[in-house]
Structure 1
Amino acid sequence: MKTSKVMTLLASIEQIGLQTPITVWAKPDDAFQLVAGAHRLAAAKHLGWETVDAFFMKGDDIDRQIWEIDENLMRSELTPTQFSEHLAKRKELWEAVNRDKLPRLKVKEIMGAVIGRPSLPQRRPTLPG
């Protein structure tokens, strides 16, 4: 967590209030887990707030992870490596959820589509004038 970001948010929240609620997920054991808004929550705690507005997300743990990754991809200042790691993890989770929806092609079908595809004629561009 970046202290400078918390302090910037603290000043903003003190002036105009918390405009974007944090997001929490109800775990299977009925405990709550923060999904998005760690900096906002830290700023509110620094201000002495005992409660904050929260959005309660529905879904399972994979849904929670995707939400958290998306929040970080959109709101955080990530290094290129962190950005790539987040995208790779999101892809892995999305594929886990959508595995039965992905097309299943046999290698022969894929190779036949590649080998059997007619080649496009080579054309030279016509230059004006």
Structure 2
Amino acid sequence: MAYLMLDADRLPALPPATPAAVPAIDDQPAARLTGLEWSVVALARKDALSSLRRPGRMASALGALFRQPHNPMLADERLEALRRIAVFAWHYGYTIPSAELTRFLNAGFSPAQYELMTDSIGVARRKTMGARR
């Protein structure tokens, strides 16, 4: 048979919690994207998955010959990493290739910014799906 001591006076005193022992919620900055970054996410909604591949020499030559639409790739590597991951998120939701996530994080974005963007795209996708029904 087990015995449970319920007398609080007999329990050993615990040291009081110090501010250093308790992580503060406000220490981490809120995840945010700039207006330019949000516009890249919005424009990525219309980009096809084929926009993620670099055109080959033949495709470039035919594009120059027949004046095909411009290449949607961005010159800024950071914004291009954002565009690429946003295209995947618009098409596949939260299923993002790990190489693209690594590229996104190496471009200087945080995991919190990734979650903010994908959650925002997820809400927009659900609204679009609900409107189709």
Q: TM-score, normalised by structure 1?
A: 0.26
Identify the structure with bigger relative contact order (alpha carbons < 8 Å, sequence gap 6+).
2
In terms of fraction of residues, the more strand-rich structure is 1
In terms of fraction of residues, the more helix-rich structure is 2
